[in-house]
């Protein structure tokens, strides 16, 4: 993940940590790592690369005339 995305990943991790505390009915002072292990929920830092890899594999399997492929190859993806 890029340097510019670290802040976004951190925000997602904070939101997930709050959700994990609510799911487990624990206080915010409880250490988060044991809660992740207890609930079987992976931290965002592990989930995001997995999702990006799955998306890359999905893009590779699309036909070349798919709109997404045409936009990506024509370099029209600007923001």
Q: pLDDT value at position 25?
A: 87
d(CA 20, CA 36): 7
d(CA 58, CA 76): 20
Nearest to 17 by CA among 30, 1, 4, 6: 30
The whole domain housing 22 covers: 3-73
How many distinct structural domains can be found in the chain?
Answer: 1
Phi, psi of 77 (to 5 degrees): -85, 85
User: In residues, how long is the chain?
Assistant: 79
Q: Is residue 62 part of a domain?
A: yes
Q: Is residue 79 part of a domain?
A: no
pLDDT above 70 as % of the chain? 89
Taking residues 4-19, report their average pLDDT: 88
pLDDT tens figures, 15-42: 999 999 988 888 778 888 888 888 999 9
d(CA 67, CA 54): 19
């Amino acid at each position: 993940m890029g340097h510019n995305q670290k802040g976004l990943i951190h925000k997602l991790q904070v939101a997930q940590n709050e959700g994990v505390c609510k799911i487990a009915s624990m206080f915010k002072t409880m250490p988060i790592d044991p809660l992740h292990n207890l609930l079987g929920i992976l931290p965002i830092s592990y989930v995001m690369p997995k999702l990006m890899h799955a998306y890359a594999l999905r893009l590779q399997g699309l036909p070349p005339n798919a709109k997404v492929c045409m936009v990506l190859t024509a370099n029209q993806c600007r923001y």
